Chains A and B, each alone.
Chain A
Amino acid sequence: MENRSQWGTRAGFILAAVGSAIGLGNIWRFPYVAYENGGGAFFIPYLFALLTAGIPILIMEFTIGHKYRGSAPLSFFRLNGKKTEFLGWWGIFVSFVISTYYAVIIAWAMKYTVYSFGLSWGKDPEAFFFGDVLNLADNPGEVGGLVGGVALPLLLVWVICYIILLGGVKKGIELANRIFIPVLFLLFLFVVIRAITLDGAMVGLDAFFKPDVDKLLNPRVWVAAYGHIFFSLSIAFAIMITYSSYLPKKSDITNNAFITGFANSSVELLAGIGVFAVLGFMATNQGVDVADVATAGVGLAFVVFPEIINQMPGLNGLFGAFFFLSLTLAGITSLISICETYIAGMSDKFNISRRRSVTIGIGLSAVISLLYATNGGLYFLDVADYFINQFGIAVIGLVEVILLAWVFRKLGLFEQHANAVSDIRLGWWWKVSLSFITPLVLGTMLFFLIKDNIAENYEGYPTSFLWTIGWPVAIGAFVMSIVFTSLKWKDNTRITSDYDENKGGL
């Protein structure tokens, strides 16, 4: 019987979990979400969301993985048979879709790391990115041809990912995170220190931290805080269950969740300081308001940052290289955690070796990811990302907490398990958060989401295009989860091996 892999050390697990949580969103999403939703005042709903949804769900997912010791579908199967197994597959299919486009963004960042040394984007970074780099099609839905300049670094991303995942949990994922996370931290620290020493940096920081207290009365600000915490912590898409299933039997679940949650937020805060310091520099330089230059996502990283790097008085190339290398490393550590979900799931369900599972999983993702390396790739990426995140992760999170807290009433069992292995004991706070606060806020979030999407199409895209890529990926992930749940477990001994039902993995 094959023994389940384990992390070498507690620090190894924490670095891997933190590496998964810290992704592109921490650097390019959080600063703008905070700025748009009250600046400094946003920290109040943000911290509230972290303590009443982020960390409680992390604790729940760590407990499920640790107690049932399997990939997400196997853990959910052991929990309550096929009635909950689909939750694991649902998360896995959401992860699968995300992995296909996430790799493409890492490929752009990798390319820009090299470009930084020679400031290759020239005087018009916008034209360079959309024209020279992406060779973007004129209209959404046009596929066009494969863009070689994106496809090649994309291949390199998949090769790196393949090698790391083939190395297994300890010699692959843990080792990579042990190297990448400290390097990422040092690189990003350099970026932030350089940013705050620029002229006008304080103008940016003032814009970022200045509290707009009136916004706290707006329910959408609270929903934005919960939404961000949810997407930022890698919860509800099978990752944390998979990672915690590799923990040794004696592991402090609760404190590990606190460290992971606070480490993720610490990096976000650092990112906010760095991003708004350089935006302040740019605004001062151009004699405009910070609001005129503040943005998020792809536009911030690949258009605004190159513009800022052009204007910097010194260390331009190095600053750019460190920034884009930080994005690359943050992306790779998240990508390997996303891929690990389906590699572990396939291996458990179909009883295949890790090597085979890695080859099939990475091979399939790599082939599909080529769609995003075409001329029309950015449009597909934008819509797939929006729909899978909004209608995938948020719905899974809601269904997960309702089923586990209300329908199958498993929170007491999880609490017992977590308390048996952890120093910090869970109490009423944890149960109230998961039973009432999280479902209420996620339900409100979905209500706003559906309302907004009925009112107008996302980013004004044509309805036909949204039905070509957006809705199919969101609905498809759920349909595939039902299909995979209906399949039989290839080897039933896998269901019981390394797990004692009475002791619950202890």
Chain B
Amino acid sequence: MDTGMSGSAILMMLLGVTIIWGGLFISIFYATILSKFKKKFKTEQ
């Protein structure tokens, strides 16, 4: 499939998107779910 973009450009786009949007997703996931789970686990211990 011809996307009109070179392979290196697609690679850099995927890299940027994965790290930046992935970083945001992980930070929010950590704040909303993981930290609560961690606290609950500590309390139960």
Contacts and interface: CB of A to CB of B under 8 A. Distances in A.
B26 to A, nearest CB: 8
A208 B17 CA distance: 13
Contacts of A252: 31, 35
Contact of B30 (A40, A206, A208, A424): A424
A263 B24 contact: yes
Interface string A411-450: 0000000000001100000000000000000000000000
Interface in B1-26: 3-6, 8-13, 15-17, 19-21, 23-24
18 contacts: A40-B15, A43-B12, A43-B15, A47-B19, A205-B4, A205-B5, A206-B4, A209-B16, A210-B8, A211-B9, A255-B30, A258-B23, A262-B21, A262-B24, A269-B20, A423-B34, A423-B38, A424-B30
Interface string A39-50: 111010001000
Contacts, number: 77
B14 to A, nearest CB: 9
Contacts of A205: 4-5, 9, 13
Given A262-B24, A269-B16, A423-B30, A255 B35 contact: yes
A266 interface: yes
How many chain B residues sit at the interface, stated as a range, is: 20 to 34
B4 to A, nearest CB: 3
A259 interface: yes
A210 B6 CA distance: 7
* Main DSSP-derived SS at the A contact region: helix
Given A210-B8, A210-B12, A423-B34, 4 more contacts: A205-B5, A209-B13, A256-B31, A266-B20
Nearest to A422: B35
B27 A259 contact: yes
Interface of A: 10, 39-41, 43, 47, 202-203, 205-206, 208-211, 252, 255-256, 258-259, 262-263, 265-266, 269, 423-424
A209 B28 CA distance: 27
A479 B4 CA distance: 54
Contacts of B27: 255, 258-259, 262
A142 B10 CA distance: 48
A209 B24 contact: no
Contact of B3 (A39, A41, A202): A202
Nearest to A210: B9
Contacts of A259: 24, 27-28, 31
A206 B2 CA distance: 12
Contacts of B15: 40, 43
A206 B12 contact: no
Contacts of A211: 8-9, 12
Contacts of B12: 39-41, 43, 209-211
Nearest to A258: B27
Nearest to A209: B9
Contact of A262 (B5, B10, B23): B23
